[in-house]
Amino acid sequence: MKTIGLLGGMSWESTVHYYQIINEEVQKKLGGLHSAKIVLYSVEFAEIEQYQSSGQWEKCGEILGKAAKSLEAAGADFILICTNTIHKVAPQITSMIQIPIIHIADATADELEKCGIRRVGLLGTKYTMTQDFYKNRLADRGIEVLIPDAADVDVINTVIFEELCVGKINEASRKKFQSIIEKLKEAGAEGVILGCTELGLLIRQSDVSVPLFDTTVIHAKRAAQIAMEDCVQR
């Protein structure tokens, strides 16, 4: 079994779910007492968020690249960046290590293609929704991306950083998200990407009428699959 490197802590709330989902997938396939081989580097999120909010992305990449090197030195065979937004600096991190990064947008695009989705809504931080680093990755696969209007972008970003990242789940926020998702559906979205690893804590498939693609679940399951490629199922 390959060793998975998790670059987490952004926030720790979603990193917990990565660890859980990966181990559940391994146990489901291999049975018994099997669990995943994982190395975790959890960063100080306040420091990272301060740099990203002030536009100092290169500094984010420098810190996370050093963390990725630590994962590599600890024996990781590949790395997951356990957040969508920080994939903005994935090229910088990749340049500092010799092992691959499993890109969250690539794993999500694979799942969208499998489900025949060609036009999709994207929810996430304001950086993920409004900048091109994530949307272009999907567009390169022939997937059209729709984002909410500016007012809804602000609502989503506020809920992520002021509520979900600190463990607050509010029913009023869930209703706001349901309304935003309905607008995306009316605009032609065939599905909606939960493109922030905290969003699955708030909104579930049972809450909406359009297919949801939870990037935390998709990314974590892909990692487990890769890690077990050479394992024999029991």
Q: What is the DSSP string of 63-111?
A: HHHHHHHHHHHTT-SEEEES-SGGGGGHHHHHTT-SS-B--HHHHHHHH
Judge whether 234 lies within some domain.
no
Residue 150 Cα distances to 94, 154, 177, angstroms = 32, 6, 14
pLDDT in tens, the chain (234 residues): 999 999 999 989 889 999 999 999 999 999 999 999 999 999 999 999 999 999 999 999 999 999 999 999 999 999 999 999 999 999 999 999 999 999 999 999 999 999 999 999 999 999 999 999 899 999 999 999 999 999 999 999 999 999 998 889 999 999 999 999 999 999 999 999 999 888 988 999 999 999 999 999 999 999 999 999 987 554
Question: Is residue 233 one of the residues assigned to a domain?
Answer: no
Q: What's the burial of 182, exposed, middle or buried (CB within 10 Å: 0-12/13-18/19+)?
A: middle
**Residue 85: CB atoms within 10 Å:** 26
> How many angstroms separate the Cα of 97 from the Cα of each of 7, 18, 30, 165, 234?
13, 22, 30, 28, 34
- Say how far apart CA 213 and CA 16 lie, in whole Å: 19
Token pair, residue 181, equals 């998702």
Greatest alpha-carbon span in the chain? 51
In eight-state DSSP terms, residue 229 is: T
Q: Is 196 a catalytic residue?
A: yes
The catalytic position among 15, 83, 125, 216 is 83
Say if residue 93 is in the same domain as residue 146. Answer: no
Angle made by CA atoms 52, 56, 58, in degrees to the nearest 5: 105
Range of the domain at 195: 104-214
Residues 109 and 170 in one domain: yes
**Inside any domain, residue 193:** yes
Q: Work out how many domains the chain is built from and give that number.
A: 2
User: Residue 232 falls within a domain, yes or no?
Assistant: no
Amino acid 233: pLDDT = 53
Q: Are residues 80 and 18 in the same domain?
A: yes
Same domain membership, residue 115 and residue 91: no
Residues 129 and 175 in one domain: yes
If asked whether residues 108 and 210 sit together in one domain, one would say yes
Q: Which residues have CB under 8 Å from 140's CB, separation 6+?
A: none
pLDDT of residue 217: 94
Asked whether residue 152 is domain-assigned, the answer is yes
Do 121 and 178 have their domain in common? yes
Residues 177 and 222 in one domain: no
The active-site residue out of 108, 196, 197, 215 is: 196
Asked about 83 being catalytic, the answer comes back as yes
